[in-house]
Structure formats: C-alpha cells, structure tokens
Structure 1
Amino acid sequence: MYDEREIIIDPEFQRLFRWDVGQKSKLIESLLLGIPLPSIFVFETEDGSWELIDGLQRVSTILEFMGRLRGPDGEINPPSVLEATKYLPSLHNAVWETSELIDVPMQEQRPIDKTQQLAIRRGRLGVEILKRPSDDQTKYDLFQRLNAGGTQANAQELRNCIMLMISKDYFRAVKNSAEQDAFKRVVSISEEQSERQRHMEMAVRFLVHTQVPYDGRLDVEEYIDEGIVTLAQAGNHATAADLINRTFQLLDEVAGNNALRRFQNGAYVGKVGLVGLEAIAVGVARNLPAILALGPTPSKTFVKEKIESFWEQQQVAAFSSSGLRGTTRIQRTVPFGEEWFRP
C-alpha cells in the first residue's frame, strides 16, 4: 500500500517524531520474536486511501529498515542499521541487505537471512480504520488522544503535527519565526529545550494569547490546543510570522535575553517564565502599531521603561504566587499587559 501511495505518511511528521536506533532495534526484535505490535490507526480518505494518524514510528521504522521509506523529496531514505538487543544480540549492525547508502562500512554490515525477512514480512500489525469525520476538529482531537500517552511526544510536538495537518504554510511560518535569533534570545531557549520544541511552544502560546480571547472555561492546555487550531485554519501565516518577528525584534533590541526576565533592584534576574510571555510579550504585541508610531527611538525607550517598572507593580507580584491556577493567571496577566503597554 505504501509503495502504491495508498497509505499516506507525511514526511514532515517523520522529522517531528524520531526514534533512536535502540527503539528501532527493539521494534524489529519484537517482530522477529513474534511479539504482537499495538494496532495502528488510520483515517480513510475520500478516495479510499489511508492517512496514518497513530503508529508513525512503527510503520516508518519497518519501512526504513527494509529500505522502502521515502523522504520529503520522494527519494528513498538510506536504510537503517540496528544494534544488539537483550534477546537478540545478533542484531548488532544488522541490515535488511547490504547497501553503500548505510553509514556503516559494507564489510561490517550483517544482512539478516531470508527466514528473518519472512518473519518481518509476515508480522502481524492490527489496523483500526476510522472513517473520515465530517468535522476536521474530530480528526485533530483523535490524533491528540491517540498520541498523548506516548513517551516520545510532548504537548507541543502534537500541536506541531496538528498544525501540519491543517496548514503546512502556517506551520512553516511559525517554525521559521520561532527559529529566528531574536526570538530565541528573548525567550532564552537552550539547545535541549529546542529539541523538545520549547521555542515552538512559546511561539504558539504567544500567538494564541495575542489573537484568541480566553474566557477561563477551558483548561489552559486545551485553550492553547483549540486556539492554534483556530489560527491555523484561518491560515493567515504571513500575519502570524509578522507579529512574532516584529514583536520579538523590538524586545530583542530593547533588552535582548533580559526582555522577559524579572527586573529587581536594578538588575534582571531569574529565568524567562510564562508571566513575562503572557504580560510583556503579548502586551507589546497587542499595542504594537501604537508603540511603533512613537518613532524608532521613543518606542524603544517606552518599552524599556515599561518593562522595568512592570515588575514593581503590586499586581504583578501576585501573578507568580504559589497555588495560582493557570486559568486564573492568564485572565490577569494578558489584560494587565495589554493595558500596561498601551502608549
């Protein structure tokens, strides 16, 4: 089905969900030992083909090992090579068949025998077929519920996939903006946090808080989930990118990696937290045209002074109090920031 394009695996999903060699080896080990694999979930599209929703790594690992997995350009990816496992140490440097494309010298590659190939080909994989719902929202909800229990995917990685499902252009625009130097400096993202998509999470939270009203009814994570679906469906990717780029360029010019940090006793202290994002970044964004209208130098002076005096306000101290629920905090930080940064 995959060779005939009858089952669809979005290549960009493969970049977001990436198993290491140990996980891949254990999957192939399970097939060789006859251990049943969990079912995969697919949506049946209008033309009868299947769109893979849950089971991406299981399916792509098998296809990659066999040398059948295609990349975004349609070209076949280099086949994978396995490592020894607890029950099958013989899988060290195991390959489906030797290949110059594999990053292990050919003389060190150990092709599995025909019996093992047949065991993999005949391995059982249950398929749950979900008829395409009339409401795409159902599709996104099901995707999150099916994937939320996995150890490899965090909440933002799932949101990334949902944005891809809805609008590749929107996802790419947000991703490109979140990877700009100015944005990363202001939100102070480490390499490890970046790998876990923390920069994308901050960009998505910023966009949702700036553009989608919050009434406090939904849990914060559900509000962010629904908000980014709404924005991606609207598809205004140029507007999203422009909002992120201009806001964080201004904040970067004003205070760099101190822009969202607490200002106390004449110095910036602590880490960047959600209070700074929700009140300062969103507050500036919601007033951006009026702020920029002050002029190049006055706008920077205004923002810098407002950031420093922001942390002296009595209400702001309460935003970080222990026990304050996120649902309550957002209903305070965002409106306060919008008012505070109004010229």
Structure 2
Amino acid sequence: MMSLIDEVNDRRKEIRTDGYAISIGEWLSLYENGEIDIHPEFQRIYRWSEAQKTNLIESILLGIPVPPIFVSQRADGVWDVVDGLQRLSTIYQFIGQLRDENNELIPPLVLSGTKYLPSLDNKKWEGDGELGDNDPNSIGQNLRLTIKRSKLNVSIILKESDETAKYDLFQRLNTGGSRLSAQEVRNCILVMLNKDFYSWLSELAKFDKFTECTALSDRAISESYDIELALRFIIFSLIDPIDLDSMGDVGVFITEKMREICVDDSFDTAYWGDLFRQTFTILADCCGDNSFKRFNTAKSKYSGGFLVSQYEAVSYGLAYNISKGTAAENINNLVSSLWSNQEFTDWSGSGMTATRRLPHLIPLGREIFKK
C-alpha cells in the first residue's frame, strides 16, 4: 500500500502545468485564429447577468485582479477553456467578436453604470457608423488600449497530462459555490467529452411523453433537471443492484458513470433511446402527469408535484421489465398502489437520501412492475 507522500508524488507526475500572463489583445488573437475553444454551447448553460458582465469590464479598467483562466492543451495545440469561459466570453462580446455555436456574431455588449464608474452607463467598445469615437457612447481609443494591454493569468494543463485531468479540474472549479446546478456542470463536461452524446441526451429530455409525465417547473428545466432525470434513467434502469451497495454519494456516482458511458463506443444509443421512449409512452398514455405524483389513498386522487422517489421506483422498474419482456399491463393501478406499499412509503419519505433509498426502491420497482 502506497504512503501518502508516494501517492502525492505519483499523482503530481500525471498533471503537467504551465502558467503566465497574456494580454487581452493576445487572448483576442487566439480566439480570432481558432487557437482557443471556449465552447459556445456553454453559453446556454452559464447565466451571467448584464451587471456581472459590466463588473468584469470595470475590474479590468480599474486594474482589479481577475481570477486566472484555466485551459487544457489539446493534442492539436488548441486550448480548451476549462474555467474562465464566461470571463473570456464577456470580453469577446464587449469587443464585438463573440460568436455563437452557429458561428453567428452575438450583439456587442452595452455596459451599465456602476458604483465606482457610473459613466460606464450605455458605453460600448466603439461608436456607431461614421461617428466612431465621436459617439458619446464609445469608450474611446485610450480605454480600448487600456483593456487590450491588460493581462489575464492563464494556467495551462499541458497535453502530457493525464487525459481526465481537465474534466476533474472543471468539476472542482464549478462545484460548490458555483451558480451552476450539478447537471449544468455535467452538461459542460459532456460537451467537452462527447458533444454528440450531450445532444442525444438533450433530445431525450425533450421527448413529449417524458415532458408530459414529469411535468417539471420552468425553473427545474432551466437548471437542466430534465436532462439529469434522463441521465439517471440511463444509469439506474438496468443497473446491477450490487453496484448500489458501494455507490456512495449519488451525485458523484452519476457524474462518474456519465463520464464512463459517454466515451464507451459500445454504448447503444439506439437501444437506450427506444427503451426510454417505450417507457414514457406507456406511462403518459396510462397515467399522464400523474405518473410521478403522490396518490392520496384516502381521497383516491393524485396531488402535489413531481416526486423523484416515485420516478425512481416507477420509471426504472417499468423500463427494467420492458427490457426483459416481463412488463405488467395494469400500470395505472400499480402506480397508485405504491402509496399503499409500506416498503415504498418507508424509503421514500422526506429526508431520505438517494444513497439510502435507491438500493431499496430499484429492486422494489422491478418487482412491482413485473407481470
């Protein structure tokens, strides 16, 4: 068994890094020459406000230190942005060079006034038309040069590093105090690992029968909870119960399984897409938006909103039996009868963590929805 110092020394060899300061003018040249990939798909995931963008430009103008940009050097020499995408995107948008995932220019950023620089209100990089710097809303050549000559530190994960290093770093930097949800962080990792898999999973989450059954709030969807539920379906529907015993933190488990699946060439998206659509078509046709709601046995009616514990028992259990050709037919009655099942109610109550309930609810769902 390795000692702590041996483990540290061994892992340090796997991550090779470099770092220095680069002027914003050079950052712009890297972007214009296609030598840096800021993953424009992430723009739909990150949610910086106009005020946050203005505050970044203000910091640069005032010489306030900006956190370093983390990049990973690909085999072709291009830098993948691991952390700092929104900072760079804001700068590129302000200068008027930011492009979306369809390579279309995004309208330039117009600033707002701040506590320290109220005169930033309505200011932009350049003036309109022939007015140029005579436009009162232009920041002027002097401040443009100040910005372009300002430097941002970069930390580079060199291509000699362990190939998973950048994904580990991205997850660490964007978890905890981040404004991103857990699935939004996963979405970004998916785009870096396998953009096609991310697109496939996103399309599953838009399947009309699935959206009908889950009936999620706008906020939940804006935070990609629908994509997380689709991913959970892929991970847990056919999982070996033995794997649940050593699962640990469910969020970490989902992320690690996702990373394994999305780079697995043997993963059959056609099979899983078909199983997903079959499952939610059956549920939508017999239960609709009651599929994952609590059933009040006293009043004989459904009430409340989406319950993840019911989703786990019902969708995973039904999918498993569809895959085995053993799916029951009286689905509506089986769903409502869950709330008369002592084991289900014991393990689906409030305060019951996914780590504790899944080893019970997954086998239970498989048994309940078997004919």
TM-score normalised per structure 1: 0.90
User: Helix, strand or coil for the counterpart of 2:237?
Assistant: helix
Deviations 1:73-120 (A, max 9, x none): 2232221111111111112111111358xxxxxx99711111211221
Superposed CA offset, 1:25-54 (max 9, x none): 111011111101000100011122211010
Is the aligned partner of 1:276 residue 2:310?
yes
Question: Residue 322 of structure 1: CA displacement?
Answer: 4.7
Q: CA deviation at 1:239?
A: 3.2
Identify unmatched segments of 5+ residues in structure 2: 1-29
SS in 2 for 1:77: coil
State the secondary structure of the residue aligned to 2:81. Answer: strand
Per-residue CA shift, 1:2-61, capped at 9, x if unaligned? 111111111111221131211111110111111010001000111222110100000010
Determine the structure 1 residue equivalent to 2:346: 318
Asked whether the equivalents of residues 36 and 124 of structure 1 are also in contact (C-alpha less than 8 Å), the reply is: no
Cα gap change, 1:60 to 1:262, in 2 (>3 Å): same
Superposed structure 1 runs of 4+ greater than 4 Å apart: none
Would you say 1:190 and 2:217 are equivalent positions? yes
CA–CA distance in structure 2, aligned partners of residues 24 and 48 of structure 1:
29
Other structure's SS at 2:330 match: helix
Q: Which residue of 2 aligns with 1:201?
A: 228
2:170 paired with 1:143: yes
**Which residue, 143, 167, 175 being the options, matches 2:202?**
175
State the secondary structure of the residue aligned to 1:268. Answer: strand
Once residues 147 and 337 of structure 1 are traced to their aligned partners in structure 2, the CA distance between those partners, rounded to angstroms, is: 34
| Structure 1 unaligned regions, length at least 5 | 101-106
- Partner residue of 2:301 out of 267, 292, 312: 267
Residue type of the alignment partner of 2:261: L
Partner of 1:104: none
Please give the alpha-carbon distance, in whole angstroms, between the structure 2 residues aligned to 1:212 and 1:109: 63
Matches within 5 A, 1:124-135: 124-132=151-159, 135=162
What is the Cα deviation at residue 122 of structure 1? Answer: 1.7
RMSD (CA atoms): 2.2
Correspondence 1:175-254 to 2 at 5 A: 175-213=202-240, 214-217=243-246, 218-234=248-264, 235-254=267-286
Q: Deviations over 1:131-154 (max 9, x none)?
A: 236654333222100111453211
User: Given the two structures, how large is their TM-score scaled by the length of structure 2?
Assistant: 0.83
Query: How is 1:42-61 mapped onto 2 (pairs within 5 angstroms)?
Result: 42-61=71-90
Write the deviation string for residues 155-175 of structure 1: whole angstroms up to 9, x where unpaired: 110111111122222111111
1-side partners of 2:52 and 2:143: how far apart?
19
Give the stretch that moved more between structures: 264-273 or 277-286.
264-273
| Percentage identity across paired residues of the two chains | 38
> Partners in 1 of 2:135 and 2:321 — Cα distance?
62
**Helix, strand or coil for the counterpart of 2:111?**
coil
2:208 and 2:121 map into 1 onto residues whose CA distance is 41
Letter in 2 for 1:241: G
Change (3 A) 1:244 1:317: same
User: Which residue pairs with 2:6 in the alignment?
Assistant: none
For residues 237 and 164 of structure 1, the distance between their equivalents in structure 2, rounded to whole angstroms, comes to 16
Distance 2:136 2:221 in 1: 34
Partner of 2:10: none
State the aligned residue count.
331
Could you say what secondary structure the match of 2:70 adopts? strand
TM-aligned CA deviation for residue 238 of structure 1: 3.0
Note if contact 1:8-1:51 (Cα within 8 Å) is conserved in structure 2.
yes
Deviations 1:163-192 (A, max 9, x none): 112222211111112123321221121112
Match of 1:72 in 2: 101
1:159 aligns with 2:186: yes
The one of 73, 82, 85 aligned to 2:111: 82
1:287 is paired with a residue of what secondary structure? helix
Contact 1:216 1:328 in 2 (8 A): no
Residue 336 of structure 1 is matched in structure 2 by 364
Report the CA distance between 1:290 and its aligned residue: 5.2
Q: Which residue of 1 aligns with 2:42?
A: 13
Task: Give the superposition deviation at 1:203.
Answer: 1.4
How far did 1:124 drift? 2.2
Instruction: State the AA in 2 paired with 1:250.
Output: I
Say which SS state the counterpart of residue 95 (structure 1) adopts. Answer: coil
Q: Is the 8 A contact 1:81 1:95 kept in 2?
A: yes
Q: Compute the displacement of 1:252 (Å).
A: 0.9
Give per-residue Cα distances to partners, 1:210-249, cap 9 Å, x unaligned.
1444333221111111121122122533333323222112
Evaluate the alpha carbon distance shift between residue 196 and residue 28 of structure 1 in structure 2; reply closer, same or farther with a 3 A threshold.
Answer: same
Cα contact 2:128–2:135 (8 A) shared by 1? no
1:240–1:122 CA distance, 2 compared to 1 (3 A): farther
The CA distance in 1 between the partners of 2:33 and 2:181, in whole Å, is 32
1:37, 1:124 within 8 Å by CA — same for their partners in 2? no
Amino acid at match of 1:270: G
Distance 1:323 1:88 in 2: 47
